[in-house]
Amino acid sequence: MTDTLHLTSGDRAGEILAESAIPGEVFVWHDILYDGPRGPGWPDDRSLAARTRFLDEATGGGLGRERILSTLHSQYRTLAAAGDRERIVLWFDACLFDQAMLAHVLACMPHRGLRKAELLCIDAFPGIVPFNGLGQLRPSQLASLYDQRRPVTDAQVQFARLVDRAFALQDLGDLAELALTADAPLPWIPAAAARWLQEQPDPETGLGRLEALALEAIRNGCETTADIFAAVAASETPPQYWGDITLWAKINALADRRPPRVRIDGPLRRLPQWEGIADLARFRVTSLPNAADAGGAP
């Protein structure tokens, strides 16, 4: 069947899916839907403008607002037109990034009369440890999963609407309830919600978990971006929801704090969050003493 739309997250997963023997068009959705301003469900122009500003800041200006807004419009046009397809297959990982995106896509589908879709989501694959997502698989391994897809149920769509609302409004109370949900229709959501709650600032240090892990790695002597990434990834609990762009943003935020927690030395004042801006190998990151270490405010 060639009249199939395969919707996934992550450029690497999309490339692997396109290289597999599975027929159909591959479309990669781009957005950080667990964070930033937006409304739940299908976005209006105001929500898209807010997302554009947020994503421009979250990627360090590496993409540009015009390109971001064009991408967002393209995504929702593609989803709106998916009703003409014979089959829609959703490929997602169990991580926070993918689960927030899955919930949003499912919550948006009824707004355009989309009633049928198939879902394939895994949190493990034989022989791959730690398993963080579909981007680790070879095309043949990905193709071997295709028969595991299952029809999306009404209960999953209704649950996705609750999840999408909680992430859109950043309702920490609702997210805490989701984290404790037993027998969730989307079984990977509780862990994803719990992971996002760990990113909320700690009352004592003012740091979220990813910032804290990055600072720990730097204080332990990791100075290059490659060493910091490896150390933080080793300390993280799979599935890893973040990539280099997100981690560099957290390190830059540590440098921008008052007082700063780290110093960044290199050809630019801050780590570039997009390829082609500057050579990451030329940067060094070192820790700095701060008031929090002496018992003061973070």
Containing domain of residue 113, as a range? 4-197
For the chain, the three-class secondary structure string (H helix, E strand, C coil) is CCCEEEEEECHHHHHHHHHCCCCCEEEEECCCCCCCCCCCCCCCHHHHHHHHHHHHHHCCCCCCHHHHHHHHHHHHHHHHHHHHCCEEEEEEECCHHHHHHHHHHHHHHHHHCCCCCEEEEECCECCECCCCCHHHCCHHHHHCCHHHCEECCHHHHHHHHHHHHHHHHCCHHHHHHHHCCCCCCCCCHHHHHHHHHCCCCCCCCCCCHHHHHHHHHHHCCCCCHHHHHHHHHHHCCCCCCCCHHHHHHHHHHHHHCCCCCEEEECCCCCCCCCCCCCCHHHCEEEECCCHHHHCCCC
- What is the predicted pLDDT for the residue at 120? 97
- What is the predicted pLDDT for the residue at 276? 80
- What is the predicted pLDDT for the residue at 2? 61
Statement to judge: residues 188 and 213 lie in one domain: no
Statement to judge: residues 169 and 237 lie in one domain: no
Q: Of 142, 165, 197, at which residue does a domain stop?
A: 197
Statement to judge: residues 107 and 189 lie in one domain: yes
Residue 281 CB coordination number (10 Å): 10
Phi first, then psi, for residue 149 (nearest 5°) are -65, 150
Model pTM score: 0.95
Number of structural domains found in the chain: 2
Q: Of 154, 176, 197, at which residue does a domain stop?
A: 197
289 preceded by a cis bond (ω within 30 of 0)? no
Q: Sort strands 284-287 and 150-151 into parallel, antiparallel or unpaired.
A: unpaired
Statement to judge: residues 273 and 252 lie in one domain: yes
Statement to judge: residues 79 and 156 lie in one domain: yes
Q: CATH code at 276?
A: 1.10.10
Examine residue 101 and state whether it is found in any structural domain, yes or no.
yes
Q: Of 197, 228, 246, at which residue does a domain stop?
A: 197
Statement to judge: residues 174 and 249 lie in one domain: no
Give per-residue burial for 17-27: e unless 16+ CB within 10 Å, then b. beebebebebb
Statement to judge: residues 28 and 174 lie in one domain: yes
Examine residue 221 and state whether it is found in any structural domain, yes or no.
yes
Statement to judge: residues 160 and 29 lie in one domain: yes
- Give the chain's length: 298
Examine residue 204 and state whether it is found in any structural domain, yes or no.
no
Residue 24: partners with Cβ closer than 8 Å, 6 or more residues away: 1, 2, 3, 4, 5, 6, 87, 89
Statement to judge: residues 40 and 182 lie in one domain: yes
Which residue's structure tokens are 């421009």?
56
Amino acid of residue 2: T
pLDDT along the chain (298 residues), means of 10: 87 96 96 96 97 95 94 97 95 98 98 95 96 97 97 98 98 98 98 98 97 98 98 96 96 97 97 90 94 42
Examine residue 202 and state whether it is found in any structural domain, yes or no.
no
Statement to judge: residues 150 and 248 lie in one domain: no
**End-to-end CA distance of the chain, in Å?**
57
Examine residue 203 and state whether it is found in any structural domain, yes or no.
no
Q: Sort strands 118-122 and 150-151 into parallel, antiparallel or unpaired.
A: antiparallel
Q: CATH code at 142?
A: 3.40.50
Statement to judge: residues 216 and 192 lie in one domain: no
Which residue's structure tokens are 């899916």?
17
Statement to judge: residues 178 and 53 lie in one domain: yes
Residue 227: partners with Cβ closer than 8 Å, 6 or more residues away: 217
CB contact at 8 A, 228 and 217: yes
